[in-house]
Structure 1
C-alpha cells in the first residue's frame, strides 16, 4: 500500500536502484565504501589509531547544522550503507523539481548543512570488531578520550556545533518490541544529558522527531519499532553530545525476519533520516508530544533467540527426568546453548517442538548445541 505522503513514496521508489552490490552485506570496510566516498566528495578529517583515514561528507551550506556518524563500532555497518544511500539521493535531487519530488524545498541546501562521518572506526571495521585497534569501545570513551577516533568525534562536535546529531548503530538480533515476539528492526532513543533525565528544548525536539520518524516508518513496519531505556550513561558520546544542546538521536538497526544482511533496516534508516530532515525544515515534528514518544514500546533485550526448543524431555542416565525449553544462538559456524529452563518469555526465529522427544543427556549454557540439534533432526 502506498504511503500517504507521496514524496516518501517517491523516495522509497528511488532507493532500490542506488544499492551498490558492494554494500549489500553485513560487514563493510573502508575499501568497500571508498568509491562512494570519492563520488560524494568526502574529505579527510583525521586518522584512526592505525593511521586509516576518517572522512566526512558535507552537503549544503545553511544555518541548520546536522551531524551524523556511523560505524563507531566497527562491526555495525547497516547505517553506513544507509547514509551513503541517502547522500546519493540528496545529491541527485540537489534543487528544483528533483528536490520537490522527495519533499524538500528547492533551496534546501541554503537552509541546512549536513555533515556525515560514514565510518568513524575503520580499524574495527577492518577486523570486524566492536572496538577499535586499541581494544577500546569508542562509545564508552567520551570522558577519558583515549582513542583518537573518540577525540576526533568530540572535536567535530566542538567545531561544527550541530543543532541535531544522529548517532547510528546496530543492535544484536535478539531485541524485541516490548513484550511481543517481534524483532526490533529499528530502535530509537533521545539520550539523557544528566542523571535526572531533564527534557530541555533540544531533547524535546529529539523526542518529537523520533515520534515523527516512528509514525513514518510504521507504514512499512507497523510492529517492529522500539524505544531504548534512557538511563544516563556519562561515558557515552550520545549523552555527552546531548549535553552540548544538540538534539541527539540514537538509531539502532536490528533484525528483521528472513533478512540476514539487514537490508530492511538499511532502507528504513534512509526513510527515517529523510523524514527527520523534512520535519526539521517544515517544523512538522512540533505537533508531537512527549506522550507520542513514550508510546513507542520499550526495546527488550533477550526477547529472541535463533532457535527455541519447546518442552524437551531430558533423561540423563541415572538422574531424574525433567522438561525444559532450550534457547540456542548461532555464533559464526557454531550453535551455542544460551538458556535452559522456562523460556516462555523468549521467542525463536526458528521454533522446534520438543514434545514427546527424550534427550539422553543434559545441556548447559555456553555449551555446544550441535549434538542436541542432530538428535532433533533425526
Structure 2
C-alpha cells in the first residue's frame, strides 16, 4: 500500500471535512468547504443548474496529465462528495508528502464536486426536470449535462473519474459480504470490447484493487458493464478517454456512509498515484476481471423463521430513503415475504417461529412501511 495511504489511515480524523456528515449534502453544505478550497486551489463557477444553483470546478495541481472527476451527478449520492473534500484537505495538509507532490506535479485535477445541485437539494437521483443526467450523455437535453460535456471538450482530459453511490443490495460476488466499494470501466460497444482506453482504465482499477483489498479484503466488487450509449461513462470511454466509475457502497451499520467515505478517499489516492507514477501500466487487465462481480443478494433486514397466518416465512425489509426536515430518514419497507429467502440481511433477526403481525394485530403483508411489528404480542422496533 502506498505511503500516503498509511499516513491517512493513522491521521484520517485530522483532515476529515467535519462540516460534511450524513447522507444529505447540498450546495449550502459545501459552500464553506469550497471557500476553504479556494484559499489553496483555483475555484470557479462553470455554470448554473436548472434552478440557478452554481456548478463549481476546482483545479488542483500543475501536471501534464489531466484528470476530470465529478460527483453527485445523482443528487442523492453524496458519499464521494464528502470524500472529495477530505482529499482536498489532504492535499493542503500533506503538501510536502512525496506521493502528494508526485500526484500534483504530474497531474492536474479538475473536480466538479456537485454536478446536480438541484437533485442534491431535493435528495433525488434526477435533476429538477426529473431527468437522470447519467442517461443524458447522448442527447444533452439538460444544462447540467451540457456543463459537464463542455468541460470535457474544453479540457480534453487524459482520465475521467465518475463518482457515485450504489444501493445496499449489492454483494461483492456470490457471498455474504456487502460490496463496500465497486468499480467499473464502462464499455464502448455492446460487445464490451477491451479497447485501448478500457484496457488502461482496467489497469488503474486493478492498481486500486491491489491497494484496497489489503484494507477491506473481499469487500470490493466489479459493477455490471452492459453498454448504454446514453450513459456518460460509456460516452467518454468511446471518445478514447479511460473512464473509471467509483461506486461507494455499504459498510456494516454505516447507513450515514461516513466509514465508506474513508475507503473512497483511499481509492481516490490509490488511483491518482497509479496514474501519476504510471504504475498502472505494470498491472495486467486480468486483475480487473479477477474482481468479483456484484450480485443483488442483500436486504437491509431479514426476519427469519416468522409465522404469518399459520405459515413459516422469512420477511425481507429494505429501507426507503426519504428526506424530511433536511434529514434523510430510513423507512422500513416490507419487500418480500417467502418461505425461505436465499438472500442475506445486513441485519438478521430470528423470530423462533413466533407469530408476527402488525401493531394493530392485522396481517403483515408486502409493500407496507413498518417501523415496528408484534412478535407474539411483544413489540419489535424495526428501525
Q: TM-score of the superposition, structure 1-length normalised?
A: 0.91
- Greater strand fraction, Structure 1 or Structure 2: 2
| 1:224 matched residue in structure 2 | 219
1:118-197 pair list within 5 angstroms: 118-197=113-192
Q: Which shifted more, 62-71 or 211-220?
A: 211-220
SS in 1 for 2:353: coil
Q: Report the RMSD for the aligned CA atoms in angstroms.
A: 1.9
Question: Are the equivalent residues in 2 in contact too, given 1:75–1:130 (CA < 8 A)?
Answer: yes
Tell me, yes or no, if structure 1 residue 59 matches structure 2 residue 53: no
Tell me, yes or no, if structure 1 residue 10 matches structure 2 residue 11: no
* Alignment partner of 1:335 out of 306, 317, 332: 332
Tell me, yes or no, if structure 1 residue 310 matches structure 2 residue 307: no
- Cα shift readout 1:84-130 (whole Å, capped 9, x = no counterpart): 11122123334xxx131xx24x4643421100000001111111111
- Cα shift readout 1:245-282 (whole Å, capped 9, x = no counterpart): 11100011011102221112111111111111111122
Measure, in 2, the Cα distance between the counterparts of 1:215 and 1:275.
9
Q: Could you list the runs of 4 or more consecutive aligned residues of structure 1 that deviate by over 6 angstroms after TM superposition?
A: none
- Cα shift readout 1:224-262 (whole Å, capped 9, x = no counterpart): 110011100111101101111111000110111022211
| 2:325 matched residue in structure 1 | none
How far apart are 1:336 and its partner, in Å?
Answer: 1.5
Measure, in 2, the Cα distance between the counterparts of 1:151 and 1:376.
57
Question: Are the equivalent residues in 2 in contact too, given 1:327–1:343 (CA < 8 A)?
Answer: no
How far apart are 1:154 and its partner, in Å?
Answer: 0.8
SS in 2 for 1:32: coil
| 2:88 matched residue in structure 1 | 87
How far apart are 1:45 and its partner, in Å?
Answer: 0.6
Tell me, yes or no, if structure 1 residue 206 matches structure 2 residue 206: no
1:29-108 pair list within 5 angstroms: 29-41=26-38, 42-94=43-95, 98-100=96-98, 103-104=99-100, 106=101, 108=103
SS in 2 for 1:45: strand
Question: Are the equivalent residues in 1 in contact too, given 2:64–2:106 (CA < 8 A)?
Answer: yes
* Structure 2, gaps ≥5 residues long: 321-328
Measure, in 1, the Cα distance between the counterparts of 2:76 and 2:189.
29
Measure, in 1, the Cα distance between the counterparts of 2:235 and 2:185.
12
Measure, in 2, the Cα distance between the counterparts of 1:267 and 1:109.
21
Question: Are the equivalent residues in 1 in contact too, given 2:15–2:93 (CA < 8 A)?
Answer: no
Q: Which shifted more, 248-257 or 17-26?
A: 17-26
- Greater helix fraction, Structure 1 or Structure 2: 1
* Structure 1, gaps ≥5 residues long: 316-320
Change (3 A) 1:377 1:78: farther
Measure, in 1, the Cα distance between the counterparts of 2:178 and 2:378.
26
Question: Are the equivalent residues in 2 in contact too, given 1:340–1:363 (CA < 8 A)?
Answer: no
Question: Are the equivalent residues in 2 in contact too, given 1:328–1:369 (CA < 8 A)?
Answer: no
| 1:318 matched residue in structure 2 | none
Q: Which shifted more, 245-254 or 283-292?
A: 283-292
